[in-house]
Structures are given as structure tokens and as C-alpha cells.
Chain A
Amino acid sequence: MERKVFLDSASTTYVNAEVLQEMLPVFDTVYGNANSLHNFGRAANELLDKARDRVAKAINAKASEIYFTSGGTEANNWAIKGLVYANNLKGNHIITSQIEHDSVLETFKELEHEGFRVTYLPVDKNGIVNLANLMHVLSSNTILVSIMTANNEVGTIQHINAISKTVKEKGILFHTDAVQAFSNLKIDVKELNVDAMTLSSHKIYGPKGIGALYVKRGVKIKNLLIGGSQEFSKRAGTVNVPAAVGFGKAAELAIRDMKATNDKTKNLRDYFIRELKNHITGIHINGHPIQRLPHIANVSFDYIDGESIMLMLDLDGIAVSTGAACSSGDTKESHVLRAMGVPTELIKNTIRFSFTKRTTKEEINYVIEKLEVIVKKLRDISPLTKRIKKER
């Protein structure tokens, strides 16, 4: 049988068996429209309430502050546009960072076209947003700051508490995209004092097609989707109850198992990097050396193209991604690595390996073995290859 190894958990995860178990009856037994008043609807609504409670509990929010969406992208779009449109009388300056997910960056670009003034904050070589830079650009005209909790490509974790504190002291709205961080970091929205936070299910062993936006009680936000009273009249459209149920369970499990999961994936990731360094020369690990999510290893290989590496790994049954997973379908270079100042000749040569709870050391050994052959083959045909001294 052909061997398959999935090292792309930052793009999506499998659905946990316990999660799937809770979801199944919602497809064929409790399948009512949660908005319907009859008993089928009420039964579905009860499950939806429970799911909302679980997601809320995971970030120490109130259930009434959690709005289910179709995923992280919708939540990011909604948070930014909704907060800006509801508060645009207070100013027209908005701030984000250069390393956000495209669903944030593209929304800011659209607002920029509409006439808002946008600051895209730079990051240092490790991918960290400088607090002094942020303080410098905040003004009485600023209405929103949106900075991700942790980056999806390199895993760098921001000083999100300090950022939030700085922004909130000025009375400015603060949103954070916590899609990649949720389940790896303890998140407490009360402590963080954040106004809005984006969450997603399919990065935490829950189903795809469901996410949530946390909006602090009292914060004004304009609807993105209209034409229905669902989600406290804030987000129209029939709620995907089976997915919401799955998301709720996945969130509960993620918080319960956080330490064990983090320890496991971090051990695997560190083992992978050690083995990589032992077997392959001319590699560079991108992202913050310590302040980084435990399951991501972003690696640049001297002299060889990332897409060629990815394709050869794929033929050996190994799934990884080049740059951001969402960008893998096209040849766009990583804006994250660019912002971090990774040299142009290395940006193209980058692969993101991200580990799941199921990854084994034996799988990693297999990947290293294949990778060693692939890297040698591609370096043999690359005109850039120079003699690399073994670093061992």
C-alpha cells in the first residue's frame, strides 16, 4: 500500500473521532433548523447553545459574545469591515501588520480603496510586531487595530497582551485573528481585553466550514450577512449545526488536552529539526526561535525550489506546503517571509512542515530519508549549488 504522511496540519486537521461521534446524530436525527420554533428546531437550537457555550468557555467569553460563521475567513472579513463601518465616524485610520492572513490583508486593502488610511506594520526578522512602532502610529484618528495572535506560516507568536493593552489604553478597537493560536495558547478574552477575535474549527481537529467571531458585549459591529435573525440577528443564514456541534466539542477537547498536544507536537517538531540538521546541510529555520507555535517548522533549503521539493515529497506520499497553504495553488511568493526580510533567493525555497497529534517519529524518519534523496537530486541539477561543507 502506498504510504501517506500528512505534515500540513497548519492548513487543516483531520476530525477527531470524539468530535465526529457528536456530530453524526445532528445530520440525521436532530436535523432541524435551529431557527425554527417547532420541536425539531428547538432540539437543534439546544445543541447549538451547548456548542456556543463550549466555544465561549474555551476563551473565557460569554456565550452571547460568540457568533458562528462559515470559518476564519468570514470572521476576519466581518470583524474588520463590521467594526470599521460601525465606527467610521470616529476616524478613518486603521492598522494591521504585514504578515496577516490574506483574509485580513485583502479586507484592509479593500478598505484602503474605499478611502481609509491603512498602516501595515512591519515585523522584525523573527516575525514580531514592534510595540514601539505600533505606539508611534496610533493616533486620535485610529479606529481599529488588527494583529494576529500567531502566524500561520512561521508560527511566530506576537506579544499580544502588550499590543492589546497599548491599543485599549488609547480607547481604540482591537481585533486579533487567533485561528492558528487557538488550541495551542491559553486565550482569555477578558484578560486580553480584546474587542473581537477570530476562531476556526478545522485547525483544531474539528470540521471545516465553521468558525466563530467573538465580539465583546457592547462593541458595535455592522452585519456582513443580512436577511435573517440568526446569531442574535448579527449574522444571517441558517447555522451549520452539525459543524457547530463539532466545533464546540473540538474546542472543549483542545483546551482539555492542550498541554499534552503541545508537548507532543513540540517534541516531534524539535526531533524533526534535529534530524533535518543532522542529515541535510544548507537549511534555515524561519520564525521566532522560541516564541513560536509548537507544531510548525518553516524551513528554507539553499539552492532548490520549494515547489519542486513539495512535488517530489508528494510523490512519496508526503504532504507539506510551500509558503502559505492557501497560496500553494499559485506561484505567489510568501508575503510573510518577505516582511521578515528573508532573502529573495530563499523565499522561493521554503517548505512548511506542520505536525499533527497523530504524527509519529517513525513517520518523521521516513520523511527525512526521502527528503535527503530529494534535496540531493535537486541540488545536483541546480546551477546555484556550491560545495556545502557538512555542518556536523
Chain B
Amino acid sequence: MYNKRIMELFLNAKNAGEIRSADGASEVENETCGSIIKLFILAETGVVTEARFKTFGCPVSIAASVLITEMIKGKTIEEISIITLEDLLQELGELPQGKVRCVETAFEALIELLASYDKKQKRKEKIVEKS
């Protein structure tokens, strides 16, 4: 039904979990099918040292979430910001009809994750400036 790569990611479900005091966190809901993707990172020095996800959804939603956490681990925020939806789709390989939307949701969660990281950084900088 799904290709080997998707099955691998889905079944291993590596990096599942939450990070309590994350440097960046996001939550996106796919309104078409109701799936929910949450992403978390630790990136104190601008390099992602830990990436986790929690996903409610179909195998593709779960596989795409795992893929993102795998792709961003060890990368700098700048490196992550150039990841595109096409990169994800290419990594996942062939998808059944209608499943691209699930990957788009995961990509939206990544974009929101970066925005959340930025916001937190700016807040931190403000605190530093004030002190």
C-alpha cells in the first residue's frame, strides 16, 4: 500500500515524544481529515540537538513527522529554514492519491516550529538586553 521508506518511518516511529522546555514547538491540525501534528526541538546554540513529535493521524502523517525530526536533527536553524515541501515529498517517495495533503500538514508544522523558535529567541534577546 505504501512504499518501503514510508513503512519504515511509520513503523519505527523514531523520536516520538514531547520536550517540556523546548526551544521551539508547534501544533498544526489538518482540517480536511482532523490529523494533528506537534513538533518540538531543543536548539540552545542554534543547532538542533533534539527533535521530537507527537502525531494523531494516518501512516503518512506519522511517517512525515518522523522524517522531519530525522532531517532536522544536528542541523542549524538556517539549514532547516531552507527545507522545502518538495524535499519532504522527494524523501518520502511515491504517495497514494490524496496523501500529499498529509505531508503539507507536516511541512506547515515545520514552518510553525521555526516561527516558534524565532519568537522564543527574540524574547530571550530582549531579556538579555534589559539585564
B13 within 8 A of A: yes
Residues A384 and B16 in contact, CB atoms below 8 Å apart: no
From known contacts A305-B35, A305-B56, A345-B34, infer whether A383 and B27 are also in contact, taking CB-CB under 8 Å: yes
Residues A305 and B58 in contact, CB atoms below 8 Å apart: yes
Q: For the complex, what is the distance from the CA of A311 to the CA of B99, rounded to whole Å?
A: 15
Known: A311-B1, A330-B98. 12 other contacts (CB 8 A): A305-B57, A307-B59, A308-B58, A311-B59, A331-B33, A345-B34, A381-B54, A381-B55, A381-B62, A382-B56, A383-B36, A383-B56
Give the residues in chain B near A314, CB-CB below 8 Å.
Answer: 1
Least CB distance, A282 to chain B, in whole angstroms:
13
Q: How many residues of A contact B (CB 8 A)?
A: 21
Give the residues in chain A near B13, CB-CB below 8 Å.
Answer: 377, 381
Least CB distance, B4 to chain A, in whole angstroms:
13
Contact with B38, one of A344, A345, A383 (Cβ below 8 angstroms)? A383
CB-contacts of A313-344 with B (<8 A): 314-315, 330-331, 333, 344
Interface residues of A (CB under 8 A from B): 303-305, 307-308, 311-312, 314-315, 330-331, 333, 344-345, 348, 377, 380-384
B11 within 8 A of A: yes
B53 within 8 A of A: yes
From known contacts A331-B33, A344-B34, infer whether A307 and B56 are also in contact, taking CB-CB under 8 Å: no
Least CB distance, B108 to chain A, in whole angstroms:
15
Q: 6 smallest A-B Cβ distances: which pairs?
A: A383-B54, A381-B16, A382-B56, A307-B58, A383-B38, A384-B56
Complex interface bits, B3-47 against A, C-beta within 8 A gives 1, otherwise 0:
000000011010011000000000100000111101000000000
Least CB distance, B116 to chain A, in whole angstroms:
15
Least CB distance, A330 to chain B, in whole angstroms:
6
Give the residues in chain A near B16, CB-CB below 8 Å.
Answer: 380-381
B90 within 8 A of A: no
Residues B34 and A384 in contact, CB atoms below 8 Å apart: no
Residues B54 and A382 in contact, CB atoms below 8 Å apart: yes
B131 within 8 A of A: no
Inter-chain contact total with CB atoms closer than 8 Å? 52
Q: For the complex, what is the distance from the CA of A308 to the CA of B17, rounded to whole Å?
A: 18
16 contacts between A and B (CB under 8 A): A304-B56, A305-B61, A307-B59, A308-B10, A308-B62, A311-B1, A311-B2, A315-B11, A330-B98, A331-B33, A344-B34, A381-B17, A381-B62, A382-B54, A382-B56, A383-B38
Residues B57 and A308 in contact, CB atoms below 8 Å apart: yes
Residues B98 and A348 in contact, CB atoms below 8 Å apart: no
Give the residues in chain A near B56, CB-CB below 8 Å.
Answer: 303-305, 382-384
Least CB distance, A281 to chain B, in whole angstroms:
17
Contact with A383, one of B1, B55, B99 (Cβ below 8 angstroms)? B55
Least CB distance, B18 to chain A, in whole angstroms:
8
Least CB distance, B36 to chain A, in whole angstroms:
5
Closest to A304 in B: B56
Give the residues in chain A near B35, CB-CB below 8 Å.
Answer: 305
Contact with A382, one of B1, B34, B55, B98 (Cβ below 8 angstroms)? B55
Give the residues in chain B near A384, CB-CB below 8 Å.
Answer: 36, 56
Least CB distance, B13 to chain A, in whole angstroms:
5
Q: For the complex, what is the distance from the CA of A314 to the CA of B59, rounded to whole Å?
A: 13
Q: For the complex, what is the distance from the CA of A303 to the CA of B55, rounded to whole Å?
A: 10
Give the residues in chain A near B38, CB-CB below 8 Å.
Answer: 383
Give the residues in chain B near A345, CB-CB below 8 Å.
Answer: 34
Least CB distance, A11 to chain B, in whole angstroms:
16
Give the residues in chain A near B2, CB-CB below 8 Å.
Answer: 311
Residues A331 and B57 in contact, CB atoms below 8 Å apart: no
Q: For the complex, what is the distance from the CA of A305 to the CA of B59, rounded to whole Å?
A: 9
Contact with A381, one of B1, B34, B53, B99 (Cβ below 8 angstroms)? B53
Residues A348 and B33 in contact, CB atoms below 8 Å apart: yes
Give the residues in chain B near A304, CB-CB below 8 Å.
Answer: 56
Least CB distance, A374 to chain B, in whole angstroms:
11
